[in-house]
Amino acid sequence: MRNIIIAIDGHSSCGKSTLARDLAAALGFGYVDSGAMYRAVTLFFLDHAVNLADEDAVVNALDDILIEFKHADGANRTFLNGQDVEEDIRSMRVSELVSPVAAVPAVRRALVSQQKALGRKGGIVMDGRDIGTVVFPDAELKIFLTAEPDERVRRRQLELREKGVDLSADIVRENLLERDRIDSTRADSPLRKADDAIVIDNTQLTRQEQLELVQGLARAKMTTG
Instruction: Give the binding site for ligand CDP (CB under 6 A).
Output: 12-13, 16-17, 34-35, 38-39, 98-99, 102, 128-131, 179, 183
User: Closest approach of Cβ 200 to ligand CDP, in Å?
Assistant: 15
User: Closest approach of Cβ 13 to ligand CDP, in Å?
Assistant: 4
Task: Tell me the backbone φ, ψ of residue 191, rounded to 5 degrees.
Answer: -65, 120
For residues 213 and 145, what is the distance between their CA atoms, to the nearest angstrom?
Answer: 12
User: Closest approach of Cβ 89 to ligand CDP, in Å?
Assistant: 8
For residues 146 and 143, what is the distance between their CA atoms, to the nearest angstrom?
Answer: 10
User: Looking at beta carbons only, is 12 or 222 nearer to ligand CDP?
Assistant: 12
- Give how far Cα 18 sits from Cα of 13, 45, 70, 130, 175, Å: 10, 27, 17, 18, 20
User: Looking at beta carbons only, is 81 or 185 nearer to ligand CDP?
Assistant: 185
User: Looking at beta carbons only, is 44 or 222 nearer to ligand CDP?
Assistant: 44
User: Closest approach of Cβ 98 to ligand CDP, in Å?
Assistant: 4
Helix (H, G, I), strand (E, B) or coil at 213: helix
Task: Tell me the backbone φ, ψ of residue 192, rounded to 5 degrees.
Answer: -155, 160
User: Closest approach of Cβ 223 to ligand CDP, in Å?
Assistant: 28
- Give how far Cα 81 sits from Cα of 5, 44, 63, Å: 27, 10, 11
For residues 59 and 70, what is the distance between their CA atoms, to the nearest angstrom?
Answer: 26
User: Looking at beta carbons only, is 173 or 179 nearer to ligand CDP?
Assistant: 179
For residues 70 and 117, what is the distance between their CA atoms, to the nearest angstrom?
Answer: 17
User: Looking at beta carbons only, is 13 or 210 nearer to ligand CDP?
Assistant: 13
